[in-house]
Every structure is written in structure tokens, then in C-alpha cells.
Amino acid sequence: MTDYAGLFRLDGRRAVVVGAGSGIGRESALALAAHGAVVVCADRDADAAAATAQHAGGGAAAHQVDVLDIDSVRSLAEAFPDTHALVVTPATNVRKRIVDYTHDEFDRVVSLNLRASFDLVRAFGPTMVARGAGSIIGFSSIRGTVVEPGQGVYAATKAGLVQLLRTAAAELGPAGVRVNAVAPGVVETPLTEQIKANPQWYQAYAAKSAFGRWAQPSELAGAVVFLASDASTFVTGAVINVDGGWTAIDGRFDPPA
């Protein structure tokens, strides 16, 4: 008989959260730890990772990683071969029209948003396959589905990430490894500081949500726990939108009837 009360529990399972020093990564690490996971808080900022680990408690550890350095990524995977759940949150954006983009800016966005996830899947996937279990959770965005001027390269990476993770789901699924994506809407994180500084821009984004507000990083953590836990054992290749209705609602006009 299924233990429904324990479906979301992660007791004794190791979860590696990349980007755990701040924002969505930090809240994901805290939520996983609260559900019993043994969390590794990985981040380029060692002090931020350590602060999250201390707050998480429960034997949480901090690990410095540079996801743009393949040797650093491999070292992280080798240090924790028993990883049950891998959560990948780092991303960056350069808001520019396509014709104004430089090659260096393009490479910077693609390297962090897409290539880093590619390397992390390649590093952690084989050991999960060997054990016959595991969950890989990446972060796409509403920009993987809907776009706006100035978001071309960022949107391309987020759409590309979805297809990368879906392919990984197809390739790793026969061994029992699940791969999924979470697609946030607008979230109050360091990445969105530029928008928050402009009241008109900030409010326009808030109005696009069915709730008339932005998300807090903690509101993404539930989807992460779900995808890491046995509550989602038949979920793979999926994109879970946590966007306050952004991609579901037209939003241009509220008719009288």
C-alpha cells in the first residue's frame, strides 16, 4: 500500500543544489533539507554556499563549484556519487536587441544558461544510471515559451534547455533516471534587479500574472521538492510552469463579460 503521507519525504537522500548561494537555489536547498534530504549547497561563492548550508542544517554541506569549468563540475560529481537529486539554477541575461549583441555576450549567456547544464547532466547522469535512480531538475523560464524584445539569446537558451532536458529524459529514462524542468515567471531575485529598479516595468510584469504580483523564490521550491521526491515517480520530460498564470492568460484586455 502506498505511503501517501511520506511521498514528499527525502530522508537520507542526497540532493546537490547548484546555485544554492542565493535566490531560487537557496530556497530549493532549504526546502529539500526541510523534507529530510542531505543537501549539498554548491555555488561559485563559497561564503554564500556555506551560509545556506548552515541555515539548512541537517548535515548540509557547502561546496564551491564553477559551472563554467568542466574540471570543477566533474569534481563536484565525483565528490558526491550517491546524489539522488541534482538541481541546477544558475543563469544570466544580457538584455539587448539581437542586432546589438556581441559574440562575447552571446557566449557568456549560452555558456552559463545552456552549456553548464549540459556539462552537469553529463557529469551526474552516469552514476545515476549505474544506480538505476535519480532526478535531475533544471530551470527554464517563461522565456522558453513566450518572448519580448531584448530577450532573444536568453529565450533561446531557455528553450534549448527544455529540449536538452527532454532528450536526457529519453536517454536516461530506461535506467530509471528522471529529468524535468521548472519554468518560473518573474521572480524577485538578483537576476531581476534591473526590472525592479523601474517602477513602471516592475508593475507591468506584476500585472501579467493572474495574481497581480511577482513570485518570491520560496514559491518555486515546492516544484523542486515534488520533482525530487517519490511523488513524481512517473514524471519525466516535463516542464512545470510556476508562473502565476503568465503563459496561460492573454492579458491584453479584461472584457466585461
Give the strand pairing for 61-64 and 83-88.
unpaired
Residue 251 has pLDDT above 80, yes or no: no
Residue 146 has pLDDT above 90, yes or no: yes
pLDDT in tens, 221-238: 999 999 999 999 999 999
pLDDT confidence of residue 255: 78
What structural domains and CATH numbers belong to the chain?
Answer: 9-239 (3.40.50.720)
Flag whether the pTM goes above 0.75. yes
Give the SS3 label for residue 85.
strand
Report the mean per-residue pLDDT for the chain: 96
Give the SS3 label for residue 76.
helix
- Cα(120)–Cα(235) distance, rounded to whole angstroms? 20
**Per-residue confidence at 256, pLDDT binned at 50, 70, 90?**
confident
pLDDT confidence of residue 61: 98
CA distances, 38 to each of 31, 151, 206, 227, 243 (Å) = 11, 36, 35, 16, 28
DSSP code string of 100-122: G--HHHHHHHHIIIIIHHHHHHH
Which residues are bridge partners to 215 per DSSP?
187
Region 6-17 average pLDDT: 97
pLDDT confidence of residue 195: 85
Cell of 62: 557547502
pLDDT in tens, 51-92: 999 999 989 999 999 999 999 999 999 999 999 999 999 999
pLDDT in tens, 156-167: 999 999 999 999
Please list the active-site residues. Answer: 154
pLDDT in tens, 104-120: 999 999 999 999 999 99
pLDDT confidence of residue 29: 98
pLDDT confidence of residue 189: 84
pLDDT confidence of residue 55: 97
pLDDT confidence of residue 46: 98
pLDDT in tens, 185-222: 999 987 788 888 899 999 999 999 999 999 999 999 99
Q: What are phi and psi of 61, to 5 degrees?
A: -120, 155
